[in-house]
Chains A and B, each alone.
Chain A
Amino acid sequence: MKDEPRSTNLFMKLDSVFIRKEPFGLVLIIAPWNYPLNLTLVPLVGALAAGNCMVLKPSEISQGTEKVLAEVLPQYLDQSCFAMVLGGPQETGQLLEHKLDYIFFTGSPRVGKIVMTAATKHLTPVTLELGGKNPCYVDDNCDPQTVANRVAWFRYFNAGQTCVAPDYVLCSPEMQERLLPALQSTITRFYGDDPQSSPNLGRIINQKQFQRLRTLLGCGRVAIGGQSNESDRYIAPTVLVDVQETEPVMQEEIFGPILPIVNVQSVDEAIEFINRREKPLALYAFSNSSQVVNQMLERTSSGSFGGNEGFTYISLPSVPFGGVGHSGMGRYHGKFTFDTFSHHRTCLLAPSGLEKLKEIRYPPYTDWNQQLLRWGMGSQSCSLL
């Protein structure tokens, strides 16, 4: 919260110059259903810390958590500064017609556009945490079992319903041959021979998502898993191969425990494949060669990047979490959340007297005025910010 003093030039040595962090005012947080507690509370922390009043719109899809947030959470907060709004798309649309001072939205790009368009009416700034298809490049030069462990853990965590999960794998046909048995081995190790009975595997949030995912199981060819159970909204940890780019599983964000593998012949082809598509929220590259990892990092763009690792960086509040392009705008976590929900107001406090020092800038102008003023303006003591 502290004012940040800033460096000045010669003319302002007697002035007090600083940046003051101020709350925006009334902030709206629209939260999704996949991590209904995390993705509601973490932005809330920042908004409250920055001194704003809050309206929270939790997802109506994660009904159990929504109930707790609606009934229990307000008891812990000052309700003159905090309110909960419940409802579906219609109610959210009505909410967005009102004037707010900041809108923080986590969800799909499609709805992100709706939110940003609504925000335009009142010139409300927004942070949009959206999604996309997060590529996961697996180089020939790597240990398949290690890679299988890491990729599988991040893919099947929360039954794949994670915005930063690896969405699809890019690797050579040879690598695919080595990866498949490793993935099977990992899945068995993690979830046992009957994953449906494992306590460590999640379920799909609702029927609509379940049906959507079950349809995706028809793409390409099932190499691992592929089972599903409607009454349980269960989808087995699945790997698909022989997948075409035009099939639905490669057209939409999967958001489920299905991992398609797309073949490429080289790193260059992988990079070109990735760059033809929308910028993703996350991008992963697995290789024993740090040069390969660095190449992937340098020649692509994404919200964030993991080399030989999944989305562990989420646990680090010192790194900003956010998207780019279609995967979003703005960022948060840790201090970045505080800064997101604050207006950074530039402040200069000059002495009310000492008018003689200001005379130099007043007309009528002479060459001398100009030169001196220019020199004074250019003389910033510390230009390294």
Chain B
Amino acid sequence: MGMMITESGSQDVGRSPGWGVPKALPSAWHSKCPGGCCFPLRLEAPESWWQRAHPELKTPAHSCARAPGTLEAPWAEEPGRAGCGSPWMDPLEDTLRRLREAFHAGRTRPAEFRAAQLRGLGCFLQENKQLLHDALAQDLHKSAFESEVSEVAISQGEVTLALRNLRAWMKDERVPKNLATQLDSAFIRKEPFGLVLIIAPWNYPLNLTLVPLVGALAAGNCVVLKPSEISKNVEKILAEVLPRYLDQSCFAVVLGGPQETGQLLEHRFDYIFFTGSPRVGKIVMTAAAKHLTPVTLELGGKNPCYVDDNCDPQTVANRVAWFRYFNAGQTCVAPDYVLCSPEMQERLLPALQSTITRFYGDDPQSSPNLGRIINQKQFQRLRALLGCGRVAIGGQSDESDRYIAPTVLVDVQETEPVMQEEIFGPILPIVNVRSLDEAIEFINRREKPLALYAFSNSSQVVKRVLTQTSSGGFCGNDGFMHMTLASLPFGGVGASGMGRYHGKFSFDTFSHHRACLLRSPGMEKLNALRYPPQSPRRLRMLLVAMEARGCSCTLL
């Protein structure tokens, strides 16, 4: 099975069901068959180790079975027929091969090359800022503020940080030695994995594509990027504009939907970085297991937000509302539901209403600061959730605008859909609990979330929630601002994900840390201690040499 691709604009006549919808691709992908037909050509590639590992990916040499110049869709033919456009053709493999060759030739290793790539990314952001803002507005109705703060600035910040620290991050790390290795050179070398695949989601289509990309490039990998087809406008820019700023022998963008992504995942990569839902995370990990490919999965979940009786309702309302309704709630780390006592709920509701009016005006639909739902499918899903519990605030929706009002639901049962799936929209259910203990127990009965929030004037209460639960990240008395700090690792635990990134953590995620020990070729007499025949005395000496620290600092 391969990706089906056509020349931009051609018709897909007679396409058999099951093949994905082809997309227009940058012209670099196409090579013309000597026979003159326009379909992508599969070239015989020199044997490389990954091809030997997968002989099933070898194809017959191209033979054009039809007259030059004909443009009929080849898949109208019976399957299995070799020739132009046969089912065995896989232009994607061409691209992957090309990237691997560039990697093996060492193109991406020098710091200068990596820095040039990073600078390219920085230029991409700066020179196309308006274009990106417009695309984000078209996809998600993001305000200039949100686009700048949560997409462009964050990406730019990561590029700047990586450029500033690249050489320091790349440096071999010397390590403490024991007596037996005193004369040796012992260090950890950071090496790129090779060919990295980044699969990005639609909710922060720039940020969640570029920030991992920064790490992968800084670490010296070749990268295949699969942006989300759902955020169409940003996808277009990433496919058509971004490659111009990067070395295309080491970077490629692959387009398509779930089917194409599935086909992509059948190929072997050296690392896969995925951001998306737990359901698809499992599919990615299963595909990765076939090749023993390591993965980072940034998934999601229902992020609880505990609100203690001892707090200022207006402050809490401001903070919770801002993080909930940012990007119209389509944020993996947004507070998903509130846990509080009925008394607190009574105080919180008017405060939330006041906050919402303050943020978005009396008619939120006309506010430039409120986003929209990405597409009809998500809109319909969210509209159905409005039927859960009872609407206390908001509840309006407009299908033509994919608009859902900032909403708060009360009297919600745990079994209702709004408490069963990650909401990912501007709806905030409130679930009542009688006590902190009950809240903690409620949280611990469920999957570990990506983020967890606790609001209280009492630092003891906040600390109790922190200590007695687990989550990817935690914030006391605020929302996900910690994500803006590149000094903090960002990642999930349990069903909310595995692995982490941001800042140096991205670099480390995309690097293999290779333990190295270099010994002198001489001074063989010193080694005599370990060779057989053994004696108890020698053993004792050897054990001492292994244990003793040459360096007084054992604190790593």
The residues of A with any CB-CB pair to B shorter than 8 Å are: 6-9, 11-12, 15, 17, 19-20, 22, 24-25, 101, 109, 112-113, 116-117, 119-121, 123, 125, 128, 130, 142-143, 145-146, 149-150, 153, 189-192, 198-201, 275-278, 286-288, 290, 293, 297-299, 301-309, 312-313, 315-316, 318-322, 324-326, 328-331, 334-335, 343-353, 355, 358, 361-365, 369-370, 373-374, 377-378, 380, 382-385
- The answer to whether A349 and B476 have CB atoms under 8 Å apart is yes
0/1 interface trace, chain B 485-515, chain A, CB 8 Å (1 if under)? 1111111011101111001100000001111
B466's closest neighbor in chain A, by CB?
A: A347
Contact with A along B114-154 (1 / 0, CB 8 A): 00000000000000000000000000000111001100011
Segment at the interface with A among B26-34, B90-98, B279-287? B279-287
In the complex formed, the residue of A with least CB distance to B109 is A298
Known A305-B517, A385-B487: A343·B292 in contact at CB below 8 Å: no
> In the complex, which range does the number of interface residues on chain B fall in?
35 or more
Question: Given the complex, which residues of A lie within 8 Å of B285, measured CB to CB?
Answer: 116, 119-120, 123
On whether the beta carbons of B475 and A347 are closer than 8 Å, the reply is yes
CB of B455 within 8 Å of the partner chain? yes
Contacts of A334 in B (CB 8 A): 556
Decide yes or no: A190 and B533 within 8 Å by CB, A301-B514, A305-B515 being known contacts. Answer: yes
**B233: CB under 8 A from chain A?**
no
* Chain B residues, CB < 8 A from A320: 188, 513, 515
CB distance from B310 to the nearest CB of A (A): 9
B49 lies within 8 A of A22 (CB) = no
Interchain CB contact under 8 A, B513 and A369: no
List chain B residues, Cβ under 8 A from A8: 485, 487
From residue A109, how far is it (CB to closest CB) to chain B in Å?
A: 6
Say yes or no: B181 contacts A312, CB within 8 Å. Answer: yes
Residues of B within 8 A of A361 (CB): 149, 322
- Does B318 have its Cβ within 8 Å of any Cβ on chain A? yes
Q: Which residues of B contact A286 (CB under 8 A)?
A: 521
Interface contact B514-A335, CB-CB below 8 Å = no
Are the C-beta atoms of B521 and A385 separated by less than 8 Å? no
Chain A residues contacting B490 (CB-CB under 8 Å) are 346
Q: Which residues in B have their C-beta under 8 angstroms from that of A20? A: 466, 474
Q: Is the CB of A350 within 8 A of B488?
A: no
Say which residue of B294, B477, B515 sits within 8 Å of A349 (CB atoms): B477
Contacts of B524 in A (CB 8 A): 143, 145-146, 149
In this assembly, does B297 line the interface, its C-beta being within 8 Å of a C-beta of chain A?
yes
Q: Are the CB atoms of A306 and B517 closer together than 8 Å?
A: yes
User: Which B residues touch A293, using CB under 8 A?
Assistant: 518
**Interface contact A287-B494, CB-CB below 8 Å:** no
Q: Are B471 and A345 in contact, CB atoms less than 8 angstroms apart? A: yes
Of A113, A150, A313, which is within 8 A of B186 by CB? A313
Known A-B contacts A112-B292, A149-B531, A362-B318; A348 and B153 likewise in contact (beta carbons under 8 Å): no
B476 touches A153 (CB 8 A): no
Q: Assess the A143–B527 pair: CB atoms within 8 A.
A: no
CA A191 – CA B24 in complex, angstroms?
Answer: 68
* Residue with the greatest number of chain A CB neighbours at <10 A, chosen from B47, B294, B459: B294
CA distance A125 to B500 in the complex (A): 12
Interface centre among B48, B361, B514 (most CB of A within 10 A): B514
Name which residue of chain B comes closest to A121, CB basis. Answer: B282
For the complex, give the distance between the alpha carbons of A20 and B191 in Å: 27
Whether B144 pairs with A345 at a CB distance below 8 angstroms is no
Cα distance A43–B525 in the bound complex, in angstroms: 34
Query: Chain A residues near B319 (CB, 8 Å)?
Result: 358
Residue from A8, A128, A299, A350 having most chain B Cβ neighbours under 10 A: A350
CA of A146 to CA of B531, assembled, Å = 12
Pairs across A and B, CB under 8 Å, 29 listed:
A9-B485, A12-B481, A17-B482, A22-B493, A123-B282, A123-B498, A125-B498, A149-B524, A190-B533, A301-B514, A302-B514, A303-B515, A304-B514, A306-B517, A308-B519, A318-B556, A319-B175, A326-B292, A344-B489, A346-B473, A348-B481, A348-B488, A349-B462, A352-B457, A355-B314, A363-B145, A377-B149, A383-B486, A384-B168
The complex places the Cα of A365 from the Cα of B367 at a distance, in Å, of: 11
From A7, A191, A301, A315, give the contact of B181 (CB < 8 A).
Answer: A315
Complexed CA–CA distance, A305 and B175 (Å): 15
A175 to chain B, nearest CB (A): 14
- For residue B536, CB closer than 8 A to chain A, the reply is no
User: In the complex, A128→B459 CA distance in Å?
Assistant: 40
Cα A31 to Cα B311 in complex, Å, equals: 50
Per-residue interface assignment for chain B, residues 321 to 354, with 1 indicating a CB less than 8 Å from any chain A CB and 0 otherwise: 0100000000000000000000000000000000
9 smallest CB-CB distances across A and B, nearest first, come from: A365-B145, A200-B532, A307-B518, A309-B519, A363-B369, A319-B515, A318-B175, A116-B289, A348-B482
Q: Shortest CB–CB separation between residue B201 and chain A, in angstroms?
A: 17
* Set of chain B residues within 8 Å of A316, measured between Cβ atoms: 175-178, 181, 186, 515, 517
Contact residues in A for B360 (Cβ distance below 8 Å): 363
With contact pairs A123-B498, A315-B181, A318-B556 given, residues A190 and B531 touching in the complex (Cβ less than 8 Å) = yes
Cβ contact of A370, chosen from B109, B145, B361, cutoff 8 A: B145
- The distance in angstroms between the C-alpha atoms of A30 and B172, with both chains bound, is 32
Q: In the docked arrangement, what's the CA distance between A326 and B293, Å?
A: 8
B188 touches A346 (CB 8 A): no
Contact A275 B290 (CB under 8 A): no
